[in-house]
Chain A
Amino acid sequence: DTAVSQTPKYLVTQMGNDKSIKCEQNLGHDTMYWYKQDSKKFLKIMFSYNNKELIINETVPNRFSPKSPDKAHLNLHINSLELGDSAVYFCASSPTIAGASGGELFFGEGSRLTVL
C-alpha cells in the first residue's frame, strides 16, 4: 500500500536506447511531478501535471516526454538516452489546495538510471 510507487527502482541501459519509468500514486492527489537528482544531490523539477494537464515544463530536452493517462499515473519516457541522463529520477504527488500556497510533496523511492 505504498503511497507513491515508481518502477523500476534500478535501470541500467546503453546510450541511444529508449526507456520508460512508471509512477503511480494512491493518495487521490491532483498534481504529480518528475524531479531529477544528480550525483551531487541537486534536485531539479522537470515536469508537473495537474489532473492530466501539463502545468510545469522546465527546460528539459524533448527526448523526455511525460505521459499522464489519468491523474493517478505519470510516466516518463526517455528517447535516445545519453550519458548525462544518468541520475535518480523521483516521482512525487501533492494535493491541490485551492486559494492557498501549495501543499507538501509525497515522494516515491526513486529510480536510479545508469546509462553506459
Chain B
Amino acid sequence: GNSVTQMEGPVTLSEEAFLTINCTYTATGYPSLFWYVQYPGEGLQLLLKATKADDKGSNKGFEATYRKETTSFHLEKGSVQVSDSAVYFCALSDRNNDMRFGAGTRLTVKP
C-alpha cells in the first residue's frame, strides 16, 4: 500500500538557519504530494503541494520538489523564523482520495 516516510524529529534550529525535512514515499501510480503544518492546539493546514513529477510547490518561503526518480518530496526553507515552530507532515494522496501521512517532524526555532 501507499506510505510516507519522513525524517524523525525533533529538529531544533536557530532563527535564520536553513531547514530541510526529508520525505520519501512509496506508491503505485502517480500520487499527489503534500506538506501540511500543524501549529500548537490547531488542526492541520496545507502548506504546499505538487501534483506531478518535477512540480515545485511553494508557500511562505517553503519549497518542495516532486522527484519521481528518487520518490522524494523534501521540504526546504532558506531562513526559518520563530513563528515556523510547528509539526510538519508529509503526505500523499492517490486517485481514491486516500491521504496517507508521515509520522510528523516537530520543528522548534529559537531566537
Residue ranges of B at the interface with A (Cβ–Cβ < 8 Å): 29-32, 34, 36, 38, 42-46, 49, 51, 87, 89, 93-101, 103-104, 106
Task: State how many angstroms separate the Cβ of A84 from the closest Cβ of chain B.
Answer: 19
Interface-lining segment among A11-19, A39-47, A61-69:
A39-47
Report how many residues on chain A are interfacial, defined by Cβ distance under 8 Å: 30
CB pair A31–B97 under 8 Å, yes or no, is yes
CB pair B89–A43 under 8 Å, yes or no, is yes
Contact of A50 with B by CB under 8 A: yes
Task: State how many angstroms separate the Cβ of B93 from the closest Cβ of chain A.
Answer: 3
**Distance, CA A31 to CA B99, complexed state (A):** 11
CB pair A45–B44 under 8 Å, yes or no, is no
**In the complex, chain B residues whose CB is within 8 Å of the CB of A101:** 29-32, 51, 93-95
Contact of A79 with B by CB under 8 A: no
CB pair A105–B51 under 8 Å, yes or no, is no
**Distance, CA A106 to CA B44, complexed state (A):** 8
Q: Looking across the interface, which residue of chain B has its beta carbon closest to that of A41?
A: B104
Can you name 17 A-B pairs with beta carbons within 8 Å? A40-B103, A41-B38, A43-B101, A90-B43, A94-B97, A96-B97, A101-B29, A101-B30, A101-B31, A101-B94, A102-B96, A103-B93, A104-B34, A106-B46, A107-B44, A108-B43, A109-B43
Task: State how many angstroms separate the Cβ of B1 from the closest Cβ of chain A.
Answer: 10
Q: Looking across the interface, which residue of chain A has its beta carbon closest to that of B42?
A: A109
